Amino acid sequence: MQFPQYRPRRLRRNENFRRLVRETQLSVNDFIYPLFVVTGKKVKKPIPSMPGIFQLSVDNIVGEAARAKELGIPGVILFGIPEKKDEMASQALIDDGIIQTAVREIKAKVPDILVITDVCICEYTSHGHCGIIENGEVANDTTLEVLSEMAISHARAGADMVAPSAMMDGQVGALRDGLDEAGFESVPIMGYSAKFASSFYGPFREAAESAPAFGDRKSYQMDPANCDEAIREITLDVQEGADIIMVKPALPYLDIIRRAKEEFDLPLAAYNVSGEFAMIKAASQLGWLDGERAMMEVLTAIKRAGADIIITYFAPEAAEVLRRG
């Protein structure tokens, strides 16, 4: 086909034509909404770098989960900020911990929404690293034991799915073994399979109060330059029993999302992270772009690249846009 016989603009003439031939269909069913849980009551603390996102106490988390359910969002993923932190992340494992309490309350009052829990100890450690420190280094295998116990405690509280994000070698296998031995073989695992050492996590670290007190996370999170290594990491998660695989962040790694979609026959999640969210919000507030259009364009691009699931702070706003049609 060539001009003038073929004129692509014929099918762009109006919105009905464009809807008819649209190749990528974004849906509220694609979204998971991240929430930050803190101790206390009636807490709704704004996160300055993430306009419209808050640290919420358990009572307010229940309300936000109910709002998400009313908008048709299938699930939320919880990140907990405990009252006390220590070197061993002890608050991550207790039955009445911040996440365990939030899970029970949401499942009791909003039973039809999926509750997913992040399994990582960076929010719970006094040093802010994702693993236990031994001799000045993050101890991989010691951390696996803590992550497994943490996942079991979340499942015991009623979590529908657990999501290990620490980027410890063998973390999915450790959680699968632990969950199965504890009688939670039906609880699925969403692996943070290819999680890069990204500059786009800055606002999250403010929200989760989880910035490392020393060093960085480059010894366990992936080098942003590597694609083949990402595929090897995802392969390991698949072999260890992941039910869903993930690429994080999303926008700078659309090529990784596309390749993962082509190479793996599992549901694929992508995390539209805090820095990606903050950039659009900041530019919108300054009048430099149309925030709503940019939001929908970005989410559509992530879906077009191959993501089946999009974890995004935009979930409620995007759901409202989609509801309007």
Helices 171-181 and 140-157, interaxial angle, to 10°?
Answer: 40
The pair phi, psi for residue 54, each rounded to 5°, is -135, 155
In the Cβ-directed half-sphere of 255, how many Cα atoms lie within 13 Å?
7
Closest C-alpha to 256, from 171, 170, 193: 193
Single-letter residue type at 13: R
Cα separation of 153 and 138, whole Å?
Answer: 23
Describe the chain by its helix, strand, coil percentages, rounded to 5.
45, 20, 40
In the set 85, 195, 281, 303, the catalytic residue is 195
Distances (CA, A) of 151 to 95, 187, 265, 271, 279: 11, 10, 25, 20, 32
Annotated active-site residue 45? The verdict is no
Cα separation of 77 and 179, whole Å?
Answer: 19
DSSP 3-state of 325: coil
Annotated active-site residue 261? The verdict is no
Note whether 221 and 197 are within 8 A (CB): yes
In the set 85, 107, 248, 303, the catalytic residue is 248
Compute the C-alpha angle 152/239/185, nearest 5°: 30
Catalytic residues: 195, 248
